[in-house]
Structure 1
Amino acid sequence: MNAPSAVRILRASDYRRMPWKNGGGETVEIAVFPANAGLDDFAWRISMATVASDGPFSSFPGIDRTLSILHGAGMTLVIGDKVPVTLTRDTEPYPFAADVATSALLVDGPITDLNVMTRRGHNTHRVTRHVVNGTQTLTTSEKAVTVILVQDAVEIVEDSGESHELQPLDAMMCDPSVANLTLKTGKPATVYEIVLTS
């Protein structure tokens, strides 16, 4: 028999909604490890949030994070004493330390972002944005958990030939035994590849 749950499909309708750490909004939690971990004891966490106004980000001591813009015109991040950086739907995912004072200025109205966080010294992560038009194969790491979040409808085929239809904002979580994933689309689709190592 096949080993159970090498691949798990995460449906957007099942994601958990939680208040922001600073109480200023709501986060949609896509996946967290360990399962059911809270904001103070997760090893890694993947979530989405809608930012509707300018203001400070919550501080997460000992956490590294990467932000990507899913919807909206974008926002400018002011991180510590760094030069401000503007993120849009077309910019690459942006990594930074979640325990450095950070504030956001919206470019033109609310945005929805993708947020990946890992606990420094225990886990690391990498987020890559792909625009798939037709067929593209992703080779996953034998030492990492890989999560694929789709912004548009995408068919994902495993090496075994098993096919999964993902709708916008669904995700697929793969353990290290999964070697290759083939992504198929009928029109250009944005896909985020999240690699989580420990």
Structure 2
Amino acid sequence: MTVLIPFAGLSPVPWKNGGGSTTEIAIGPPDSGFEDFDWRVSLATIEKDGAFSSFPGVDRTLALVEGHGMTLEIDGEPLMVTDTEPVAAFDGSSQVIARLGRGASTDFNAMTRSERCYHTFGRRRLSGGSTFVARADVTVLFLAEGDVLELRNENERIGLVRFDAVVLEPGSVWKLEAGQGMIYIVDVWYHQDEEDEEHYE
């Protein structure tokens, strides 16, 4: 089932340390929380230098959306997140400290629990029409740049504005229509258990 997630209907949650806020975009399973999610995507605004929360057993990807970026200290090693190098991937159990450069930073975040699933992250520049195929068990598209994006196929027509997201049905094929823009793509695959592997042999 295709699920449109309008950003205007979401609410940011301030961090306890006062250093920013997070807006959860989508989570799986839908009734899960921090302790038991399989996957989660969100948008965070970092307003002050500070440490990230620890998520043992979780793989994370962070991508710059707005602002001048930051330096992430990941287990003591610096990693620059900038307009030219906007993506960082790291283990959720790592000690991560964000140090801002010139003002607040807004970042897209993807997380998957490694014992259950894994994810890949991609960026696609939009200009006019293109085709997109949802190949993963879960595919999330997020409109990071641009005013409007239209997705359509034989059965559905969906409109997104900036920061909206959509969860696509596995195997679905879409025509994308936009002016200038950028989408972030999170693909989530679940690990096959032994019974499934035996079944497919």
What is the TM-score with the length of structure 1 in the denominator? 0.87
The yes-or-no answer on 1:57 pairing with 2:52 is: yes
The match for 2:5 is 10
Q: Structure 2 stretches of 5 or more lacking a match?
A: 191-201
Deviations 1:30-66 (A, max 9, x none): 0011113211111111001110011111111111100
The match for 1:157 is 151
Greater per-residue strand proportion = 2
**Whole-angstrom CA distance in 1 between matches of 2:126 and 2:67:** 20
1:22, distance to aligned residue in structure 2 (A): 6.1
RMSD over equivalenced CA pairs, Å: 1.8
* Mean Cα deviation higher: 14-23 or 152-161: 14-23
The 1:70/1:109 distance shift into structure 2, 3 A limit, reads same
The match for 2:123 is 129
1:41 to 10, 30, 36: 36
The match for 1:73 is 68
Partner SS for 2:159: strand
> Is the 8 Å Cα contact of residues 92 and 129 (structure 1) preserved in structure 2?
no
Amino acid at match of 2:138: V
> Is the 8 Å Cα contact of residues 63 and 87 (structure 2) preserved in structure 1?
yes
The 1:145/1:19 distance shift into structure 2, 3 A limit, reads same
The match for 1:192 is 184
> Is the 8 Å Cα contact of residues 46 and 105 (structure 2) preserved in structure 1?
yes
2:92 to 82, 98, 113: 98
**Whole-angstrom CA distance in 2 between matches of 1:155 and 1:105:** 33
1:25, distance to aligned residue in structure 2 (A): 3.2
> Is the 8 Å Cα contact of residues 69 and 111 (structure 1) preserved in structure 2?
yes
The match for 2:139 is 146
> Is the 8 Å Cα contact of residues 149 and 159 (structure 2) preserved in structure 1?
yes
The yes-or-no answer on 1:29 pairing with 2:24 is: yes
1:159, distance to aligned residue in structure 2 (A): 2.9
Partner SS for 2:131: strand
**Whole-angstrom CA distance in 2 between matches of 1:75 and 1:34:** 31
**Whole-angstrom CA distance in 2 between matches of 1:23 and 1:125:** 30
1:19, distance to aligned residue in structure 2 (A): 4.1
Partner SS for 2:30: coil
% of aligned pairs identical? 35
What is the TM-score with the length of structure 2 in the denominator? 0.86
**Length, aligned pairs only:** 189
